[in-house]
Structure 1
Amino acid sequence: MRSYVLTVWNFLDPIYYFFNRLQCLPCKGNILRVRLTKYKGREIMLSDGTTINRNDFLVKIHLHNAKLLYELKEIKSELRRAKMIYRGMQNSLPELEKFIRRHPRKEEIKGIIGITSLNKASTRLGFEVFDISHPLYRLFKTFAFLPIELLSNHNLSIKEIVKNHKPSYLFMSTNMLTERYRK
């Protein structure tokens, strides 16, 4: 069943990619797709002193879920899957730093933002985790992530996924990204 769903997902992924104006980063093994966006949430103060306000420019990051699910489909161990995703992020973030450094609006980009339920090791990568405060948006994201969670977590029920995998915002300032990942 998972194979059929992944096949359909791989078919639909380019359509999603097109309509969300995503760009792939050029490095081998990259698991991120990105786009420039204006932030529409509440004010956020990051630990390095960067304040992110409404309408500030951020680079929104998306995990390449279709690619990841295909690569992780045979791996049963949650720990091994988490390590693969972590290493994929470590390999992708230097290219993201280079993408921002070369972007025509680089001076206006204050940081990066993502939404994920995979936030346990995010702080080790340099991200800061913030709860999604709006209850309807949090609920929407919980159910939007449900297919990904069901496909990637072989042993969990829908109830366990909804209870234990709460989506959160991930933020990192461009200064922090440059400090940690500039090659």
Structure 2
Amino acid sequence: MKTALMVLWALWDWLYFQCNRMQYVSKGDNLFRVVRKTYRGPELKTKSGKCIKPGDEIIKIHIYNYGLAKEVLNHRSSFSLAIYLKNRMLQSLEGLTDYVTELPDQHKIVGIIGTSMLNRGAERLGFTTHEVDINFHFWIKGFLYKLIYMMVHPAGHQYLVAHGKRLKSKHLVMSLEELMERYAKQTEFQEIGDQS
């Protein structure tokens, strides 16, 4: 059953990747796939006070959930899973800063935005979280991701029964300056500051 679901998920993931024109930050060793785009949502404020407004240029980040699920299937405890996810996220954010510094006109980018249920501890990574207005689209995605969570989490169904209500999608927001101050090499941050 689990193998069949993973095959179906792989197909869905490929279609989703193609339809959304995503790019890998670094295929195989980074959790993020991204799209550079013009922001169209509600105004979002970061913890530094920076506001991301409609019309701003952003990097939309998507966690590579299928790839991540394959990585964590062999974890047998919630503790080891949490440590692994934290380290992978730190590594991926560092890789994202390297990716951004190589983009043309990177100084025009205002910030990064993602939407995910994997938002526990996001503030400690530098993100500001905002509640999501739940519509049918987010409800369906939330339902599907809870099923996926049940499939890959070491505690499976028991964890979902105990903690399912707190698994809610949230917007994760970080300004470009916050990203660079936290995760970029100092020389890279200086180069972007000089261009802005």
Structure number with bigger Rg: 2
Unaligned ranges ≥5, structure 2 = 186-196
Q: What is the DSSP-based 3-state SS (H/G/I as helix, E as strand, rest coil) of the residue aligned with 1:4?
A: helix
Output one character per residue of 1:133-165: Cα deviation in whole Å (capped at 9) or x when no partner: 355554344234233223223134766665220
Q: Partner residue of 2:184?
A: 182
Provide closer, same or farther for how the CA distance between residues 143 and 105 of structure 1 changes in structure 2, counting only shifts above 3 A.
farther
Contact 1:45–1:52 (Cα < 8 Å) also in 2: yes
Q: Partner residue of 1:40?
A: 40
C-alpha separation in 1, matches of 2:41 and 2:26: 29
Contact 1:40–1:54 (Cα < 8 Å) also in 2: yes
C-alpha separation in 2, matches of 1:36 and 1:122: 21
Q: Partner residue of 2:191?
A: none
Q: What is the DSSP-based 3-state SS (H/G/I as helix, E as strand, rest coil) of the residue aligned with 1:124?
A: helix
C-alpha separation in 1, matches of 2:158 and 2:8: 22
Provide closer, same or farther for how the CA distance between residues 136 and 5 of structure 1 changes in structure 2, counting only shifts above 3 A.
closer
Output one character per residue of 1:80-132: Cα deviation in whole Å (capped at 9) or x when no partner: 22221211111111121122222123122111111111212111111111111
TM-score (norm 1): 0.87
Offset at 1:166?
Answer: 0.7
2:174 paired with 1:165: no
Contact 1:59–1:113 (Cα < 8 Å) also in 2: yes
Q: Partner residue of 1:3?
A: 3
Q: Which moved more, 1:4-13 or 1:166-175?
A: 4-13
Aligned residues: 183
Contact 1:31–1:63 (Cα < 8 Å) also in 2: yes
Percent identical pairs in the alignment equals 29
Q: Partner residue of 1:90?
A: 90
Unaligned ranges ≥5, structure 1 = none
Question: Any runs of at least 4 consecutive aligned residues in structure 1 with deviations exceeding 6 A, and if so which?
Answer: none
TM-score (norm 2): 0.82
Output one character per residue of 1:38-96: Cα deviation in whole Å (capped at 9) or x when no partner: 22222122221211111211111111111111111121322222221211111111121
Contact 1:6–1:69 (Cα < 8 Å) also in 2: no
Offset at 1:26?
Answer: 2.3
- Map 1:136-175 onto structure 2 (within 5 A): 136=136, 138-153=138-153, 154-156=156-158, 162-175=164-177
Contact 2:60–2:112 (Cα < 8 Å) also in 1: yes
Provide closer, same or farther for how the CA distance between residues 136 and 13 of structure 1 changes in structure 2, counting only shifts above 3 A.
closer
Q: Partner residue of 1:115?
A: 115
Q: Partner residue of 1:124?
A: 124
C-alpha separation in 2, matches of 1:113 and 1:120: 16
